[in-house]
Structure 1
């Protein structure tokens, strides 16, 4: 080998080694992609897809109600520095457009419910599409594609992470369907505080009745409560369920009026903290189905 060829060989070998070593080194904190999610469930989806390549920040945190959230000045600053903003859409984050405008940022905005047929509820769309695991898979693919568009160099990583998470969601969907089969069909009736489980009901064949509408902002009238009490008595509904983001007094009152027992607490619009029952979406769904089957089969 000539001296010139030897030098060329050494340069190529060193370059290949540098690329190999560089690929094995995780991104430093300053190199991560800043991603903002409007609320905790979206934040969990984004973290699973983004992995170590992203730094995910959630505006509405654990055990907080996205329907009635009041943005803080710090939220505008977070959005201003982000590469990507992930929202639910379907009218869930009514407070967000003004916040985005005030931030002055240039983050790409991804609507995670794109492609999901909206369920109608009252005069508008029901935004709680994540309550169907099949819909959650659409959330994940939308987030995957949005991350790849915002950070093309990480596209393969996002695809691999999404594929692994989607496989977990497939398994979760099977778990839910198997659990529902344990509940006698006549007992698949649930009273929850607000109308957050319509997509779950459509997907898994469980009827949900709620005195409050799809938003926790809506007022509950005496007529609404009376109608639910009549339905509980007529349908012999065995249990009512609390939620983590709303005042429990309404459901306790209904339970006292009807003799139905408190079946447990369901998680609808928010994850819990790490030490809670539902720190991730998958654990949220597993917790809910465990509570439902326990209350409705006994």
Structure 2
């Protein structure tokens, strides 16, 4: 009888262990969705920078430090996107594995304030997002090999969505009139998208939203917009739109809509990464496809 009780207890503990979810911390909402798509029911995600929030200016909280200590896997973007997370990992001395989802991306190098820096917004090129998904899948399998088959199946299904979006983006951007390929956004977040499809994105702010543009920089951009006959100015979900509205008014360009740059929407079609990309694609096409 005692042996049966011990066996029952062992089986119960094994079933509870199997039901436990892998604790994963993600740095911002776009990565959280990618991990959710691949990890499915097997992961418990704690995301640090939420929808419609700016990861460039984020300040971690004590709860964030606690989440890092409880995590088994921490997934960040990398490419210098979240230095605050690197500092938090060091200060907490967490034992969790830390991976960069952007590993393997060929970074877009830019000159900012006299220094060469890597553009961290690599997810806006869907060819790069394929690398993100592969890195996330490998990391989940390494941390939780028992569910490898599910992670691989979810990853393949997710990549099918990405490939469909790649085909749509190629067709739509190829159809844009040649003179309608210059646009303005709040900060320089869409360079990888522009690089992939031959669109010139201009912005009053650089790669990060931390430094506000000077009056002379804004004036120079307005002159550039007039000279280049830029058709549209696009707001971003993470930024105050007042500066962009001022630029549009003074330059004569029209407001083309809102783009989702560094964060998902809290709800609606842009509340997933695939939805975000498709929403941005449709918004850009609708604004730029006019003669």
TM-score, structure 1 as length reference: 0.88
Number of equivalent positions: 274
CA distance in 2 between counterparts of 1:87 and 1:238 reads: 35
Instruction: Confirm or deny that 1:79 pairs with 2:72.
Output: no
Q: Which residue is 1:120 aligned to?
A: 109
Q: Which residue is 1:14 aligned to?
A: none
Q: Which has the larger radius of gyration?
A: 1
Q: Which residue is 1:179 aligned to?
A: 172
Q: 8 Å contact 1:27–1:53 — kept in the other structure?
A: no
Per the TM alignment, residue 104 of structure 1 is displaced from its structure 2 partner at its CA by 3.3
Q: Which residue is 1:291 aligned to?
A: 283
Structure 1 residues without counterparts, runs of 5 or longer: 1-17
Q: Which residue is 1:4 aligned to?
A: none
Task: From 32, 39, 57, give the equivalent of 1:43.
Answer: 32
Q: Counterparts in 2 of 1:102-113, with a 5 A limit?
A: 102-113=91-102
Instruction: Confirm or deny that 1:98 pairs with 2:90.
Output: no
Q: Which residue is 1:276 aligned to?
A: 268
Cα displacement string for residues 156-209 of structure 1 (whole angstroms, at most 9, x for unaligned residues): 211111111111101111111111123102111110110000000011111101
Q: Once superposed, what is the RMSD of the aligned Cα atoms?
A: 1.8
CA distance in 1 between counterparts of 2:165 and 2:51 reads: 22
Q: 8 Å contact 2:174–2:197 — kept in the other structure?
A: no
Q: Which residue is 2:208 aligned to?
A: 215
Q: 8 Å contact 1:26–1:52 — kept in the other structure?
A: no
Q: Which residue is 1:55 aligned to?
A: 44
CA distance in 1 between counterparts of 2:158 and 2:108 reads: 25
CA distance in 2 between counterparts of 1:156 and 1:26 reads: 18
CA distance in 1 between counterparts of 2:229 and 2:45 reads: 45
Per the TM alignment, residue 102 of structure 1 is displaced from its structure 2 partner at its CA by 3.0
TM-score, structure 2 as length reference: 0.90
Q: Relative to structure 2, which stretch is displaced further, 222-231 or 54-63?
A: 222-231
Per the TM alignment, residue 78 of structure 1 is displaced from its structure 2 partner at its CA by 0.7
Q: Determine helix, strand or coil for the equivalent of 1:95.
A: helix
Q: 8 Å contact 1:27–1:52 — kept in the other structure?
A: no
Q: 8 Å contact 1:277–1:287 — kept in the other structure?
A: yes
CA distance in 1 between counterparts of 2:52 and 2:58 reads: 12
CA distance in 2 between counterparts of 1:173 and 1:277 reads: 18
Q: Determine helix, strand or coil for the equivalent of 1:208.
A: strand
